[in-house]
Structure formats: structure tokens, C-alpha cells
Structure 1
Amino acid sequence: MILDLLFPNRCLHCNRIIEADLLVCDLCFGQIHFTHYDYSKNNPVKEQCKLSFPVENTYALIQFEEDSLSRKIIHELKYSNREITGKILAEWTIERLDFRELRPDLLLSVPLHPKKQRERGYNQLHLYTEVLSKYYEIPFDHQLIKRNYYSKAQALKDKKHRLETINTFSLTKPITGKHILIIDDVFTTGTTVSSIAWEILNAGDNKVSVLVMAMDV
């Protein structure tokens, strides 16, 4: 296409021209720091979650170091209007995540406030969640929980304000007896997933696990 010739897709790291459905070139792919966590065992995400709420299993795809390629990838997903990045991240996750006998019953992505979603044009987690849902044959529900307040991006908040998440989320319908996998983009303090987890846990005889695209170390 003419647009592909005029504005070719380029590697996020070295700026080399690459195919339209890629984020990085083959040479730079090795610069992505995958965690290699085991979903069924202890890992840094699980240890952090356990400080705030009862959690079953956890997984993070990549490390989110300062000035890293991993950080560029997440920012591309969230702020550069490239929703397709979620599909690519989902494919990388599928290659590395094996639920085995610990499969959840439902996939639940962290919601944006409706105003924020209108501003961005999409929820950066929806396509990611839907690709995982199709591959693992686990249903998803984008409407189960809602964000009650509009706020600026977590990346623009200081640590004190990131902790102010009381009553940030609420369930839109009853749910009980389910094992729900909460999906978020970046795990930093864990307060977002903790707030959602307690809404789910307090609703009935439910269990929660956590999957994040990136772990902020």
C-alpha cells in the first residue's frame, strides 16, 4: 500500500524498517527482558500480591525497567494509538504461559473510566484479553467491573496518589464460585489489582489470580 511505502513500520528500538505486524526487528527482539516466571510457583508478582490480598497464581510477561525496550513497548500500546500491540503481546504470552490444571474460569481486564476510554479510543487490555480468551478457550467479561472515578494516568502520579484507590472499582453484577484472572498492563505497587481483587473476593466464594504484561522492578 502507498501508506506503507510513505510511512513504513519501524522497529521501536533501532528504527529499522520491519513488517507491518511486528514491533521490533529480529536483532532487537533479544533486548526484550522476558521474566520466565512460572505461573504455578512463587514469583515477585505473587509475593507482592500476597501482602495485600489472597492470590492463587500470578504471571508477568516482561520486566519494565527504566529506559528499556520493554517500557517502549508498553508505552506504544497505551499512548501511541497502536491497539495491535496488544495482540502481539498476547501472542508472546501464549508462547510462554501454561495454565495446566490451574486454569481460571474467567478473564477480567482492568477497566478504564468511560471518559478515559473515549479519549484514548480503546482499552489497551481488551484485544490482549480477547486473544488469550480465544486461544485458551476461557471466557472474558469486559463489563463485570467498572471504574468509578476518572483520573490521570498512573504513569503521571506519584506513589502517594497511586495508593489512593479506595472505592475506585465496583462490580456491576453478582458473581460467586469463580476463579477470576485479573489482567493489567503494568504491575507497580499492586494497588489497582488489589482493589479489584477485594471487590471480587468480597462478592462471594471466589478466587483470584493475576496476569500482567509487565512487572515494574
Structure 2
Amino acid sequence: MILDVLFPNRCLNCNRITDANLLVCNLCFDQIHFTHFNFPGENGLKEKCKLLFPVENAYALMQFEKENLSRKIIHDLKYRSREKAGKIIAEWVTEYIDFKDEKPDLLVSVPLHPKKQKERGYNQLHLFTESLSKFYSIPFDHQLIQRNHYSKAQALKDKQHRMEAGNNFSLTKNISGRHILLIDDVFTTGNTLATISWEILNGGNNKVSILVMAMDE
């Protein structure tokens, strides 16, 4: 309580003091550019994914435009030790998605390399994925996919290097006949998600759907 008084939670956008369980104040919330995509259904993200790999469904919660509020939110989650932001963003997702008859069997988030995770102290997708798992009663597996090579942050790479994922990911166990919801923070080129999806698809008679917090232009 004393810390809350000395270091109150502030809105990421306007810096107003706000509730500790909020990322942005109520006045700034309307500035978040939500996509309002349908899951399942056709949308811009699904069209992009279909050009790269067979996808069942795809959903992006926000638009990741230059200098917009969603960019601040994702940056805060990834680089400012605001792991709890993942839980808040998951709550936003649950307000928009009803899986209905397209409910996946397993939630899998894009992994960090162990060295990168040690440097950051956490994987920004874990609490997000676990919160969704609890709400939708879908199991998750943080160990199914492993990242084989350490690399610098995607945000620091140019577009050409982001296209070069190579053999950066592999399955740690055999899976077959499963519908996997693959989770990431931002869809940019789609190369990372495509590489992991092909690993899952080639590993057995599996299906892949995609969920990202935000979708780049």
C-alpha cells in the first residue's frame, strides 16, 4: 500500500495516476485501435497467414501502427518488466473471442531463447497465455517449441533479417491430431509464426490457428 502511494500506477499514454490493474486510464482506453476481427472468420491477418502456411483461424487484437497506443502497450510488456500487462491484455482478448466450435486443443506461445529469457527475466507471453488458458479451460504447453538460436530483438532487425528464421525452432515432443493455437505478441512479416507452424504441421496430422496481441501495418 505504501508503495502504491509513493509510486502510483500511471497511464501509459497520458501519465495520469490510474488504477493499479489498468495499463491506460479510462480516458485513453478509447484511443487503442482494436481490430474488431472475428474468430473464427475471414480477416486481414488470416489472409496474410494463408500466404505463408495453412491456417485454420487467425486473430489480432490491436493494430500495431507507428506511434500508436498499442505500440506503447506492447513495448511496456516486452521491455519494461511489466509482465502483468500480459494478464490485462488477455482480459481484453476474452471480451472479443468466443471460440464456439473452433476451440483449440492446446495453447502454445512463441518461445524466447533461454539466454534471452534469463536476460529479460520472463517471457512476456507466458502470463498472457496462462490467463487465456484459465479463462477458456484450454491447456497450455510452454515447452512444446524450443528456440534453437540466440538472436537480437526483432525490433532491432531490418526487414530482410526478420525474414530469415532458418531452422530457429523445433518441436521437443511428438504431437499428432491436435489443433494448436500459436500465440505471439506482434505479427510483422509472419516469418516466425510460419516457421513454427510448419514444424507443428509437419510433425503430425495437426492444425494451426494464430492469436497475436497486435498486427503490424
**CA-to-aligned-CA distance 1:60-102 (integer Å, 9 cap, x gap):** 0011110011100000000000100000000000011111100
The residue aligned with 1:213 is 213
The residue aligned with 1:36 is 36
The residue aligned with 1:172 is 172
Q: How many aligned residue pairs are there?
A: 217
The residue aligned with 2:203 is 203
The residue aligned with 2:9 is 9
Q: Is 1:115 equivalent to 2:115 in the alignment?
A: yes
**Structure 2 counterparts to residues 71-86 of structure 1, below 5 A:** 71-86=71-86
Equivalent position amino acid for 1:181 in 2:
L
The residue aligned with 1:142 is 142
The residue aligned with 1:21 is 21
Query: Could you say what the CA RMSD is over the residues aligned between the two structures, in angstroms?
Result: 0.6
| Counterparts of 2:47 and 2:207, CA distance in 1 | 17
Q: What is the Cα deviation at residue 132 of structure 1?
A: 0.4
Q: Is 1:193 equivalent to 2:193 in the alignment?
A: yes
Q: What is the Cα deviation at residue 20 of structure 1?
A: 1.0
Flag structure 1 segments of 5+ consecutive residues without an equivalent. none
Q: Secondary structure at the match of 1:184?
A: strand
TM-score (norm 2): 0.99
**CA-to-aligned-CA distance 1:153-212 (integer Å, 9 cap, x gap):** 000000010011010100001000101000000001100100000000000100100000
Sequence identity percentage: 71
Q: Secondary structure at the match of 2:170?
A: strand
| Counterparts of 1:89 and 1:36, CA distance in 2 | 14
Q: What is the Cα deviation at residue 4 of structure 1?
A: 1.4
The residue aligned with 1:50 is 50
TM-score (norm 1): 0.99
Of the structure 1 ranges 20-29 and 1-10, higher mean CA displacement relative to structure 2 is found in: 1-10
Q: Secondary structure at the match of 1:24?
A: coil
Runs (4+) of structure 1 exceeding 3 A deviation are: none
The residue aligned with 2:106 is 106
Flag structure 2 segments of 5+ consecutive residues without an equivalent. none
